[in-house]
Amino acid sequence: MAKKRMIQAINEALDGEMAKDPKVVVFGEDVEISLFGDTRGLKDKHGAHRVRNMPISETVMSGMAVGAAAAGYKVVCHMMFGNFMYTGFDSIANQASKLRYMTAGQIALPIVYMGVFGGGRSAAAQHSDAMHPMIMNLGGIKVALPATPADAMGLLRSAIHDPNPVMFLQAAGRGGEQGEVPEGDHVIELGKASTVQEGDDVTVVAIGAMVRPAMRAAQELAKSGVGVELIDPRTVVPLDSAMILESVRKTGRLVVVDEARDMCSAASHIAAICADQCFDALKAPIRRVTVPDVALPYSPPLEKALLPNVASISEAVRRLLGIAAAEGV
Amino acid sequence: MSVAPSDVNFSDEQMLGFYRDMLRIRRIEERIGDDAKAGNIPGAVHLYIGQEAVGVGFCSQLTDDDWIASTHRGHGHYLAKGGDSKLLMAEIYGRETGMCKGHGGSMHVADFSKGIIGANGIVGAGISIITGAAWAAQMDGKGAVGIAFFGDGAANQGVLCEALNVAVLWKLPVIFVCENNGFSEFSPSSTVTAGNIVDRAKPYGAAHETVDGNDLIAVHQCAARAIKQARAGNGPSLIEARTYRQRGHVEAEASFLGSKYRSDEEVAEWIARDPIPAFAKRVMDAGQASQADLDRIEAEIAAEVTEAVQFAEGSPYPDPAMQGTNYMFA
Ligand SMILES: Cc1ncc(C[n+]2csc(CCOP(=O)(O)OP(=O)(O)O)c2C)c(N)n1
Ligand SMILES: [Mg+2]
């Protein structure tokens, strides 16, 4: 184990996979110099033909990923900010997600579309979307949202190995956070949630960057004697609903934390599954802690007020349990 | 634009092969058109009739290692690249035995094992996909090429500019073949397309050529230049093949269009320039085939059409009980 930043973990996963498999290629805008640092150094190590800067042409880029994957490559298509996938959305929504199905499985499309997502950094509305629910609804595309450097490495390796398109969404501004990363070819299966901490009173499912504030909220709630079982799904397609359901059957309570807008969020989907499949186990209504249905603003106090945080997560849990905020908190 | 007979030196066998390939598309599609009008086909069908010389001119020079991407009007490209007519017919009929097991239909005929990335319901989508396949071909380094066929309407998708730019920069082995058939759905090109499409290659410095898309030999020679350049690693071309769609945009159009968008005279003019009879005459005039040769080909194709339709009609529909997410993920 060594402490690594998330960006470093992603960089090492890309480097390791490129070294192992000559069919892995990386392309996108500025991937050679690397805006975020995740693709830095790859060109020098693996060659200019495998690590290619693209013009600002997301429409052709997302489709090139489909064509190159159909023709036998494992393509990492770096969209930079997740919001930029909208300018290249046809090939994601109409091609990558559907070509295998429409041709009755004639092809596999091993593509990783990667991008930074979510708010919290005054990037304003056009650089801050949490677009995973939209991708979930497309079908045909897996969606990974790592919360820690170790998960980023393990999930990205799996995403590159996976014969299907995978959207790998790295939470904005989390690249610098450190975490323990196992040595060697650390791999995490797509579709396996992680129980971050066990508890008996309430299940909190937190997605992506929301895992960290949920963890802090759980620590704080522990002081009031509240046992939180914290689950990080790690991928929302496939979704490890079995693990979530099992936990909710145990605790009887569910709070879902998602930095997507509330309407048709991953949180509402998870809430629906639990309402549907373990209604009898529920002792209280399911709560969602999400972003209101507005665009994310620029000014820090405005933005902060909209995103889920330790206080809003704790508050949701307390209200479920009918307990007042702890003194001094 | 057309080629003098003295410049043509294909063997008798090659000439008959071109004739057969064009006529095969024509007869299969005529049958599809009839079946569509008779209500035997569940979805929309867009026929390639009148444009066969373009698909055959290019695809007759490709192997299974080369890639093509096509359009909603894609049966012709599929057949020209060696696609199977039984699987095609069964797919269009929505049967379990179709090459996409009834999941795609007319607008999504594909056979990846033959380099046929397939038809596409999204106008212009093949342009980016083929650019990626050409990038793969370049990395493979075996001289394979990618060809995107698309319409004059698709040329107005911004992706064409993006693709030309990156293809020139990366010297990709790709050929963008715009089949200008005069219409974007029901809008005459003059009302939706500024300038000449082929000129869109110029600012990027891509090779470009306009060709008579109803002249198989002219298309073949133009294609040969572009394919040679691509295989040699000398970059992309944009080809504008001028042709005409003889049938409707979609077979059912007469049933829903309130008015005409083109004159009968215009259609008749272009039918008089039909690529297939013109080619038959050329082969016969050059003494490269007899009427008996052409009749034999006609009979062979008629048998293939019958067999394909029987295969489709005799095939079961896919079983909804077997349906699931089974093809969503590998
Ligand atoms: C992105 C997109 N926009 C619109 C359509 C509807 N549409 C289908 S075919 C067509 C016309 C295409 O014209 P062209 O590219 O010239 O091809 P042609 O039909 O003439 O072969 C249109 C507008 C579509 N399928 N996809
Ligand atoms: Mg047209």
Query: Whole-model pTM?
Result: 0.97
Burial A169-194 (b: 16+ CB within 10 A, else e): bbbbebbebebebeeeebbbebbebb
pLDDT at B5: 55
pLDDT at A246: 98
Between the alpha carbon of residue B176 and those of residues A8, A103, A271, A279, B198, the distances in Å are: 40, 24, 48, 56, 10
Selected residue of B159, B171, B323 to mutate for chain A interface (largest A Cβ count, 10 A): B159
Would you kindly state where each structural domain of chain A is located, as residue ranges?
2-181, 194-321
Whether B75 lines ligand 1, by a CB cut-off of 6 Å, is no
The answer to whether the beta carbons of residues B166 and B124 sit under 8 Å apart is no
Q: Residue B117 and residue B133: Cα distance in Å, rounded?
A: 9
Whether B77 lines ligand 1, by a CB cut-off of 6 Å, is no
* Domains of chain B with CATH codes: 6-316 (3.40.50.970)
- Residue range A194-321 forms a domain whose CATH class is alpha beta
Q: Is the peptide bond before A238 cis (omega within 30 degrees of 0)?
A: yes
pLDDT at A328: 39
> A86 burial class (0-12, 13-18, 19+ CB within 10 angstroms)?
middle
Indicate which atom in ligand 1 lies nearest the CA of residue B249: 19
Selected residue of A76, A106, A190 to mutate for chain B interface (largest B Cβ count, 10 A): A106
pLDDT at A37: 92
Q: How far is CA B232 from the centre of its chain?
A: 24
| A2-181 CATH, one of 1.10.40.30, 2.70.50.60, 3.90.1150.10, 3.40.50.970 | 3.40.50.970
pLDDT along chain A (329 residues), means of 10: 93 98 98 94 96 98 98 98 97 98 96 95 94 97 97 98 98 80 94 98 97 97 97 98 98 98 98 98 98 96 96 97 67
pLDDT in tens, B7-26: 678 999 999 999 999 999 99
pLDDT in tens, B241-300: 999 999 999 999 988 999 999 999 999 999 999 999 999 999 999 999 999 999 999 999
In the predicted structure, residue B6 carries a pLDDT above the cut 70? no
pLDDT at B1: 44
ipTM for this model: 0.96
Contact B110 A103 (CB under 8 A): yes
Rounded to the nearest integer, the mean pLDDT of chain B is 96
Q: Do domains A2-181 and A194-321 have the same CATH topology?
A: yes
